[in-house]
């Protein structure tokens, strides 16, 4: 972990542990240090504490600070606990403070992460300590573990457990209750209008999901994927369901794609123009790790749902965790976005019959979407040792499983929350408003002339494409029967009701 330390500061907590034990892990998004100044301040990612917070230079002292003041970082703790000093230090800590809540939390986390039991008797009677501080990170209700007298409110298992900090942005999201805002929009909308808006948004989202991947599939594949998005959340997640979705995404032509879980390395990025060698921006999980990671992903989905993890946080962790793992040769991105629909629908976050068009919003915010992906993938690329294979693929040379099992999903949750907010406050009301205007324009136009519905829809399409005016082609071909007066009246109706609203 390499992070530039502000001048005159000393690393504290996780930052000190990573430096002291040379832990090769991604740096936490928020780092702590102390300085001689007696004022609390921030410098980039660093929070600079006053001198009174400086602990003794021991593993236990810095770990105690981290558990007291920092968000739990499972990846860093897993690396620390692999050091021989880790188990010995925690054993001694618990023996000296058997009822201390942070000692018991460290004890539980050591055994949970390493699957090794320390030589310690069950904890004496003491107040139950939460493993995750719910005022600092999102947690589930959890279960009490009698051995350490702690509540395991971690949302996942050691096979897959991203965590999310309760940032100001996510705190505002919780306070605004976006789910209730969406339900309020639905309550004040006529059912037929809502159904048409939902159908349009679903088709728009399906199309956008392919566009993000640089594909222009035929309309029938877009519609089939739209149906899959509409059915998201109706059944529990499983390996078979993920594999079915990949087959649906890829379509019938599988000559150049191996369906199913990857059996070789994978990467996202370009290739050297001269040699065709990989130039990765992201390197996927090793094929040998996929079975455990996918099982962990599915357990996370079940555990986070049963434990009441916030739906947006759960959706972000599950979906972005999946795409970081990248378990397929192709189809990862679309299944990743389907998982967002799955969680939000299954948890009842979006109103019945409405699917938030997450892919369409992601497409509108494509640069922010890419930055959100890179926020997690780029630091991990620097910790991945790899080589080019004879087949011009990548082969990972070191153990990277922790990079995919544990990550801070705060940036991804913030991005998803902002996207849902955009849908609830702008996209859904805008589409409902447009359809209302469309219906009114249709009624006014029918007072000028009689026209079949399909012809009216075609006419509006031409007007939308030509800034509210009939093109020369439209006047001379499809609508040559219109009089100049009728043309003027129709263009006036379009300008009054639909121009600038399509």
Q: Write the pLDDT tens digit of every residue in 32-46.
A: 999 988 778 888 889
Residue 255 confidence (pLDDT): 85
Please, is 121 exposed, middle or buried when counting C-beta atoms within 10 Å of its C-beta (0-12, 13-18, 19+)?
exposed
pLDDT level of residue 96 (50, 70, 90 thresholds) = very high
Cα distances from 274 to residues 271, 277, 278, 279, 363, in angstroms, run 9, 8, 11, 12, 32
HSE of 456 in the Cβ direction (CA atoms, 13 Å)?
A: 19
DSSP 425: I
For the chain, the structural domain boundaries read 10-120, 176-430, 449-497
Residue 249, phi then psi, degrees to nearest 5: -65, -45
Residue appearing with tokens 């991804």: 412
Residue 301 confidence (pLDDT): 97
The 10 Å Cβ neighbour count of residue 427 is 20
Q: How far is CA 390 from the centre of its chain?
A: 34
C-alpha closest to that of 222 among 209, 213, 235:
209
HSE of 95 in the Cβ direction (CA atoms, 13 Å)?
A: 9
As a residue count, the chain comes to 502
> And the tokens for 464?
């939308």
pLDDT at 2 over 70: no
The 10 Å Cβ neighbour count of residue 439 is 15
DSSP 164: -
Residue 8 and residue 103: Cα distance in Å, rounded?
Answer: 30
Residues 6+ apart with CB under 8 A from 225: 206, 209, 210, 248, 249, 334
Residue 163 and residue 153: Cα distance in Å, rounded?
Answer: 11
Residue 69 confidence (pLDDT): 96
> Is the Cβ–Cβ distance between 428 and 183 less than 8 Å?
no
Residue 269 and residue 156: Cα distance in Å, rounded?
Answer: 30
Q: Mean pLDDT throughout 82-109?
A: 96
> And the tokens for 497?
């009701």
Residue ranges of alpha helices (H) inside 74-144 are 74-81, 84-96, 101-114
DSSP 289: G
- Helix (H) / strand (E) element for 69: namely helix 59-69
DSSP 284: P
Residue 89 confidence (pLDDT): 97
Q: Assign residue 296 a region (left: φ > 0; alpha: ψ between -120 and 50; beta: otherwise).
A: alpha
> Is the Cβ–Cβ distance between 408 and 165 less than 8 Å?
yes
Q: Write the pLDDT tens digit of every residue in 50-85.
A: 999 999 999 999 999 999 999 999 999 999 999 999
Residue 41, phi then psi, degrees to nearest 5: -150, 170
Residues 6+ apart with CB under 8 A from 261: 287, 290, 291, 294, 327, 328
Torsion of Cα atoms, 170 then 171 then 172 then 173, to 10°:
50
Q: Mean pLDDT throughout 297-308?
A: 97
pLDDT level of residue 185 (50, 70, 90 thresholds) = confident
Residue 398 and residue 383: Cα distance in Å, rounded?
Answer: 9
Strands 143-145 and 129-130: unpaired
Please, is 399 exposed, middle or buried when counting C-beta atoms within 10 Å of its C-beta (0-12, 13-18, 19+)?
exposed
Q: Assign residue 57 a region (left: φ > 0; alpha: ψ between -120 and 50; beta: otherwise).
A: beta
> And the tokens for 301?
């989905």
> Is the Cβ–Cβ distance between 387 and 394 less than 8 Å?
yes
Torsional sign, CA 62, 67, 69, 71: positive
CATH superfamily of 176-430: Fido-like domain (1.10.3290.10)
Residue 43 confidence (pLDDT): 84
Cα distances from 12 to residues 46, 84, 211, 410, in angstroms, run 10, 21, 45, 22
pLDDT level of residue 502 (50, 70, 90 thresholds) = low
Percent of the chain with pLDDT over 90: 63
Residue 477 confidence (pLDDT): 86
Q: Write the pLDDT tens digit of every residue in 213-271.
A: 888 888 888 888 889 988 999 999 999 999 999 999 888 888 888 899 999 999 999 99
């Amino acid at each position: 972990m390499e992070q530039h330390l502000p001048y005159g500061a000393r690393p504290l907590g996780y930052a000190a542990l990573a430096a002291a034990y040379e832990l090769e892990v991604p740096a936490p998004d928020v780092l702590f240090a102390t300085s001689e100044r007696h004022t609390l301040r921030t410098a980039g990612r660093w929070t600079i504490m006053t001198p009174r917070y400086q602990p003794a230079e021991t593993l236990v002292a810095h770990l105690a600070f981290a558990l007291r003041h920092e968000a739990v970082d499972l990846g860093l703790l897993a690396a620390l606990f692999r050091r021989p000093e880790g188990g010995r230090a925690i054993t001694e800590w618990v023996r000296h403070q058997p009822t201390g809540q942070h000692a018991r939390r460290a004890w539980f986390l050591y055994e949970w992460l390493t699957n090794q039991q320390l030589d310690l008797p069950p904890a004496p009677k003491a107040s139950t300590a939460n493993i995750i501080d719910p005022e600092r990170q999102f947690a589930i209700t959890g279960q009490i573990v009698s051995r350490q007298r702690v509540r395991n409110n971690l949302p996942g298992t050691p096979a897959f457990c991203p965590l999310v900090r309760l940032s100001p942005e996510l705190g505002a999201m919780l306070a605004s209750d976006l789910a209730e805002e969406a339900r309020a929009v639905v309550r004040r909308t006529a059912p037929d209008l809502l159904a048409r808006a939902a159908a349009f948004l679903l088709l728009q989202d399906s199309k956008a999901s392919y566009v993000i991947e640089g594909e222009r599939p035929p309309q029938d594949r877009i519609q089939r994927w739209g149906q899959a998005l509409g059915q998201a959340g109706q059944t529990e997640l499983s390996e078979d369901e993920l594999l079915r979705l990949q087959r649906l995404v890829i379509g019938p032509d599988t000559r150049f794609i191996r369906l199913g879980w990857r059996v070789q390395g994978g990467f996202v990025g370009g290739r050297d123009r001269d040699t065709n060698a990989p130039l990765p921006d992201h390197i996927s999980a090793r094929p040998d790790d996929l079975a455990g990671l996918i099982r962990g992903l599915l357990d996370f989905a079940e555990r986070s749902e049963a434990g009441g993890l916030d739906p947006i946080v759960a959706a972000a962790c599950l979906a972005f965790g999946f795409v970081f793992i990248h378990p397929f040769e192709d189809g990862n991105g679309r299944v990743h976005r389907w998982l967002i629909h799955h969680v939000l629908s299954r948890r009842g976050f979006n109103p019945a019959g409405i699917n938030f068009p997450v892919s369409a919003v992601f497409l509108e915010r494509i640069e922010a979407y890419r930055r959100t992906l890179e926020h997690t993938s780029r630091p991990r690329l620097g910790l991945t040792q790899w080589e080019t294979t004879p087949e011009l693929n990548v082969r990972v040379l070191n153990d990277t499983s922790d990079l995919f099992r544990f990550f801070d999903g705060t940036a991804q949750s913030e991005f998803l929350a902002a996207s849902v907010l955009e849908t609830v406050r702008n996209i859904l009301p805008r589409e409902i408003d447009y359809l209302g205007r469309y219906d009114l324009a249709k009624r006014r136009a029918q007072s000028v002339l009689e026209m079949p519905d399909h012809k009216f829809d075609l006419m509006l399409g031409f007007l939308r494409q030509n800034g509210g005016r009939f093109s020369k082609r439209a006047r001379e071909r499809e609508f040559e029967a219109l009089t100049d007066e009728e043309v003027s009246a129709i263009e006036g109706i379009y300008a009054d009701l639909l121009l600038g609203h399509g």
